[in-house]
Structure 1
Amino acid sequence: MLDDFFLRAMLAGLGLALVAGPLGSFVVWRRMAYFGDSTAHAAILGVALSLAFNFSIYAGTLTVALAMALLVTALVSRGQAMDTVLGVLAHSALAFGLVAISFVPSARVDLNAYLFGDILTVGRGDLALIWLGALAVLALLIWRWQNLLTATLNEELAMAAGIDPRIERLLLSVALAVVVALSIRIVGSLLISAMLIIPAAAARSLAGTPERMAANASLIACFSVMLGLGASLHLDTPAGPSIVAVAAVFFAIFFVFRRP
Structure 2
Amino acid sequence: MRWGDLRESENIEDRRGSGGGGFRMGGAGGIGIGGLIIVGLLSWATGLDPRLILGGLEMVQGGGQSRQVEGTDGTPKDEIGKFVAAILGSTEDVWGDIFKQNGQTYQQPRLVLYSGATQTACGMGQSAMGPFYCPPDRRVYLDTSFFREMEQRFNSPGDFASAYVIAHEVGHHVQNLLGILPRVSQERERSSPVEANQLSVRLELQADCFAGVWAARSKKSLEPGDIEEALNAATAIGDDRLQRQSQGRVVPDSFTHGSSAQRVRWFKTGFDAGQVRACNTFAAQQL
Q: Normalising by the residue count of structure 2, what TM-score does the alignment of the two structures yield?
A: 0.28
The answer to which structure has the higher helix fraction is: 1
Q: Normalising by the residue count of structure 1, what TM-score does the alignment of the two structures yield?
A: 0.30
Q: Quick one: higher RCO (CA 8 Å, sep 6+), 1 or 2? A: 1
